[in-house]
Amino acid sequence: MDKLPEISPTSLSFPQDPLVEEPVVTEIIANDFDSAMMLRCLELAAMALGQTSPNPLVGAVVVQNGEVVGEGFHPRAGEPHAEVFALKAAGERARGSTIYVSLEPCNHYGRTPPCSEALINAGVSKVVVGMVDPNPLVAGGGMARLRAAGIEVVVGVEEAACRRLNEGFIHRILYQRPLGILKYAMTLDGKIATTSGHSTWVTNQDARTEVHRLRAACDAVVVGGNTVIQDNPYLTSHNSNAHNPLRVVMSRSLNLPEQARLWDTREAPTLVFTEVGSSQTFQNMLREKGVEVLEFRSLTPEQVMTHLYERGFCSVLWECGGILAANAIAQGAVQKIMAFIAPKIIGGNHAPTPVGDLGLTSMTQALPLERVSWRIVGSDCLVEGYLPSVIK
């Protein structure tokens, strides 16, 4: 890599409150080289997409005299952090170097020793951080420790992109729940299926590929029993090199087909949540096929999210029908919406829509999305946005 002129970003104010959802650092003049290195960190971090929960995705790059001398990423919880791999790859060339890391280095003894100490011992001169770690065990402490050791620390380079990659981790840490993402595909007239329930395929192939990537990035994907009956989905990432989410079915009655793609657990695991009193014979049949079955006295989206949090999950994709989607929204199990809109018309007063009854009586009660973006995916449009945090 070409050596680039040293342009030192102006000094940065330390964020007052790292526990906020919006970017916290605004005063930063990052040069193109810093941005490029941080984007490389994110590229490295994403190599472990879907595999690090409850830990974050983190990448690190060591630069000596404008040249990359070591790279690393965090492969999964319990294994060394990104910085450790990058320092190891750099070896002696880490001394006097600048290390870029997409998340603030940790300063605690967890499953692994603190990265702050590893950086100090390796003799790095400067640490460029993408975002402050919202984890209260770290939350600024890592940067403070580095500064106390005389290391120059810069924070906030490509911060928005760093936060986006770890939005599930951030949500988990702040709210003690996984981030819930409701994804649906609808026609231009707002239908997700025909009146008879046929729904394949609303969107084009590019949009479907996008959904497969989304599944690879999530820890679980949830559907209701009706989706199993109507669509018989795989719910996998359809990519043998990518992670598959835990496939979760919510079914009170277990009134489900004996043969379904989700009951084949060779490719990806399946978990069925049901209520006490549903058929034990059906439960046993599922267990024999390797499906995990858990009974609740009363099955709700909130309980499902609590359980998935306890399992260490950061992000949960809801790919369910309208009734379950409305319940999930009403119970605060959904924070993000991803709506694919296909330029097609189905028509019909009774063709199903993506979100069932929320009990609203006036347009003033409509839930406005925040931080909305619109993107063309093949011949469809993807609208993404976040529900206001008051719904919780």
Ligand X SMILES: Nc1c(N[C@@H]2O[C@H](COP(=O)(O)O)[C@@H](O)[C@H]2O)[nH]c(=O)[nH]c1=O
If binding is defined by CB under 6 A, does position 82 make contact with ligand X?
A: yes
CB nearer to ligand X: pick between 113 and 356: 113
Other CB atoms within 10 Å distance of the CB of residue 375: 10
| SS3 of residue 172 by DSSP | helix
If binding is defined by CB under 6 A, does position 58 make contact with ligand X?
A: yes
CB nearer to ligand X: pick between 20 and 358: 20
CB of 57 to ligand X, least distance (A): 8
If binding is defined by CB under 6 A, does position 111 make contact with ligand X?
A: yes
CB nearer to Zn ion: pick between 115 and 355: 115
Q: Over the Cα atoms of the chain, what is R_g?
A: 23
**How many Å apart are CA 33 and CA 5, to the nearest integer?**
9
Q: Which of 74-82, 184-192, 238-246, 267-275 is the region at the interface with ligand X (rule: CB under 6 A)?
A: 74-82
CB of 100 to ligand X, least distance (A): 12
If binding is defined by CB under 6 A, does position 56 make contact with ligand X?
A: yes
| 216, 49 Cβ separation under 8 angstroms | yes
List of residues 6+ apart from 261 with CB closer than 8 A: 232, 233, 234
CB of 88 to ligand X, least distance (A): 13
Q: Which two tokens stand for residue 236?
A: 């996998």
- Can you list the alpha helix ranges (DSSP code H) found in 188-320? 205-217, 225-231, 280-288, 301-310
Q: Is 43 annotated in the active site?
A: no
Among 138, 299, 329, 382, binds ligand X (CB under 6 A): 138
If binding is defined by CB under 6 A, does position 112 make contact with ligand X?
A: yes
If binding is defined by CB under 5 A, does position 145 make contact with Zn ion?
A: no
Among 64, 97, 116, 135, binds ligand X (CB under 6 A): 135
**How many Å apart are CA 55 and CA 209, to the nearest integer?**
26
Q: What are phi and psi of 296, to 5 degrees?
A: -115, 155
Q: What are phi and psi of 299, to 5 degrees?
A: -90, 120
If binding is defined by CB under 5 A, does position 115 make contact with Zn ion?
A: yes
Q: Which of 107-115, 244-252, 281-289, 345-353 is the region at the interface with ligand X (rule: CB under 6 A)?
A: 107-115
List of residues 6+ apart from 332 with CB closer than 8 A: 177, 302, 391, 392
If binding is defined by CB under 6 A, does position 141 make contact with ligand X?
A: no
CB of 169 to ligand X, least distance (A): 7
Using CB atoms within 10 Å of the CB of residue 43, give its burial: 0 to 12 exposed, 13 to 18 middle, 19+ buried.
Answer: middle
If binding is defined by CB under 5 A, does position 74 make contact with Zn ion?
A: no
Question: Which residues are identified as catalytic?
Answer: 83
State the residues that interact with Zn ion by CB under 5 A.
81, 106, 115
- Name the residues that contact ligand X, by CB under 6 A: 55-56, 58, 74, 81-82, 103, 106, 110-112, 115, 133, 135, 138
